Amino acid sequence: MEATCDKCSRKFEIKMKKRTHGIDITEHYFICPKCKKRYTSYVTDQKVRSLQKEVRILSKELREHAAYSSPATYKEKVDEVDKMHKEIKKAMEKLKADITKPKE
């Protein structure tokens, strides 16, 4: 995957790196090879990672049970997965904001 740097307009191939903050926060990021600007792609913590795991399990169940679940049960599960996706997104946005905010 290619990216163009906002700062120096250099086009480069993205090489994802990760580093940890504190005990359980993992930041996934890449760096412009020319000006070294850091781009945070996404950030996870223990809570996000366990939610992601739950979503994977639920989604798998959903696919496997789709054929014989009642429409009401199926809809309930779809809603649940959807809710969890939103929760993960919100949690990741908050983590990213916390990590990327300028130090005072």
List of residues contacting Zn ion (CB under 5 A) = 5, 7-8, 10, 32, 34-35, 37
22 conformational bin, left if phi > 0, alpha if psi -120 to 50, beta if neither:
left
Compare residues 10 and 17 and give the one whose CB is closer to Zn ion. Answer: 10
Alpha helix locations (H) across 1-104?
46-65, 71-100
Look up residue 52 and give its DSSP letter. H
Q: How far is the CB of 14 from Zn ion (least distance, A)?
A: 12
Q: How far is the CB of 4 from Zn ion (least distance, A)?
A: 9
Looking up tokens 């412009």, which residue turns up? 32
Q: How far is the CB of 33 from Zn ion (least distance, A)?
A: 8
Compare residues 29 and 74 and give the one whose CB is closer to Zn ion. Answer: 29
Residues with Cβ within 8 Å of 64's Cβ and at least 6 positions away in sequence, in order, are: none
Q: How far is the CB of 100 from Zn ion (least distance, A)?
A: 16
Partners of residue 40 on adjacent β-strands: 29
Compare residues 38 and 49 and give the one whose CB is closer to Zn ion. Answer: 38
Compare residues 12 and 42 and give the one whose CB is closer to Zn ion. Answer: 12
